């Protein structure tokens, strides 16, 4: 269970994370000189909407999932990333590249409530309606390293591959996640490939990845950067949801397409919720420079 793994990881940390004192999505299409071909180690500000969702005991944090900053107060992630994580045990880190280094660009923001899509189901994999939102108790400050992503604007978007995924996930199954954010170019595949691999059909998913290329443990919840044919620009068009193993041959990645959930996202963001009382009442998080 995720909560057991998180608790064990927190117990294994011997030194507290010291809490320190919001890039643009290119309009250049795949194949152009500014497109992130291949993959590798990300650079500062390359994916400024990417956040690390961390379970915390108020003194230290352990990376659980990725997420996408979509406004100064909201983070979009996978629903399953919130299954065992009460908002009073979550902080979101923006502007981060290396999880082990105080880079001076980070913002540590406490969550005050989390919301899963009402039709999300944990009981089956791949997870149907695998969408969730985190509300931040303090708005993120927009700068070079922390910026909200552009989401799809139209009701029916068509995307051109390859996509670009990014995060702090493991580079192979059974090992710890990467401490430095990495990214990879992934091909889009026919939805029938996911149907053949996993025996399910879902109109709200995107099938992608290749043998030995794709997301792994720790990448879940992050975004998939895609070229919108209609908008003629890159958007974060999908959420990294589920994959059997890590880039296993014949097992493509399942990504939750964001477009079908945009109405729910907007409606949820417009509602008022009662923030949970945070366990980290004595924490002092310095304002970013």
Tell me how crowded residue 31 is: count the other CB atoms within 10 A of its CB.
10
60 three-state secondary structure: coil
Q: Degrees (nearest 5) of the Cα angle 14, 17, 19? A: 155
Q: Kindly report which listed range (6-20, 60-74, 160-174, 202-216) carries the lowest average pLDDT score.
A: 6-20
pLDDT of amino acid 165: 92
Spell out the domain ranges in the chain: 2-23+48-148+266-270, 159-259
Is pLDDT at 177 greater than 60 in this prediction? yes
Q: How far apart are CA 223 and CA 67, in angstroms?
A: 7
pLDDT of amino acid 12: 36
List Cβ neighbours of 192 (8 Å cut-off, separation of 6 or more).
Answer: none
Q: Model-level pTM?
A: 0.83
Q: How far apart are CA 119 and CA 285, in angstroms?
A: 35
Averaged pLDDT, 89-111: 92
Is pLDDT at 1 greater than 60 in this prediction? no
Which option is the CATH number for 159-259: 2.40.40.20, 1.20.140.10, 3.30.1360.120, 2.40.10.10? 2.40.10.10
Class at the top of the CATH hierarchy for domain 2-23+48-148+266-270: mainly beta
Q: What is the mean pLDDT of the chain?
A: 81
pLDDT of amino acid 203: 92
Structure tokens at 282: 């004595």
Is pLDDT at 276 greater than 60 in this prediction? yes
pLDDT of amino acid 280: 65
């Amino acid at each position: 269970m995720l909560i057991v793994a998180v608790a064990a990881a927190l117990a294994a940390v011997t030194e507290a994370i010291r809490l320190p004192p919001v890039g643009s999505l290119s309009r250049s299409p795949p194949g152009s000189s500014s497109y992130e071909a291949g993959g590798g180690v990300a650079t500062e500000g390359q994916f400024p909407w990417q956040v690390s969702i961390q379970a915390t005991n108020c003194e230290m944090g352990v990376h659980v999932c990725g997420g996408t900053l979509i406004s100064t107060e909201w983070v979009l992630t996978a629903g399953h990333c919130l299954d065992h994580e009460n908002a009073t045990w979550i902080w979101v880190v923006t502007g981060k590249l290396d999880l082990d280094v105080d880079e001076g660009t980070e913002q540590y923001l406490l969550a005050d409530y989390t919301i899963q899509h009402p039709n999300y189901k944990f009981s089956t994999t791949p997870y149907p309606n695998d969408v969730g939102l985190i509300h931040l108790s303090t708005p993120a400050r927009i700068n070079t390293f922390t910026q909200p992503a552009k989401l799809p604007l139209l009701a029916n978007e068509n995307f051109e591959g390859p996509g670009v995924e990014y995060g702090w996930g493991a580079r192979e199954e059974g090992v710890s996640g990467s401490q430095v954010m990495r990214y990879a170019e992934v091909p889009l595949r026919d939805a029938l490939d996911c149907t053949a691999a996993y025996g399910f059909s879902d109109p709200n998913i995107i099938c992608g990845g290749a043998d030995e290329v794709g997301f792994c443990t720790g990448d879940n919840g992050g975004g998939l950067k895609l070229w919108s044919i209609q908008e003629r620009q890159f958007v974060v068009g999908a959420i990294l949801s589920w994959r059997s193993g890590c880039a296993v041959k014949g097992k493509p990645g399942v990504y939750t397409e964001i477009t079908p959930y945009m109405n729910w996202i907007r409606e949820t963001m417009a509602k008022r919720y009662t923030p949970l009382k945070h366990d980290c009442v004595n924490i002092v998080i310095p304002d970013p420079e």
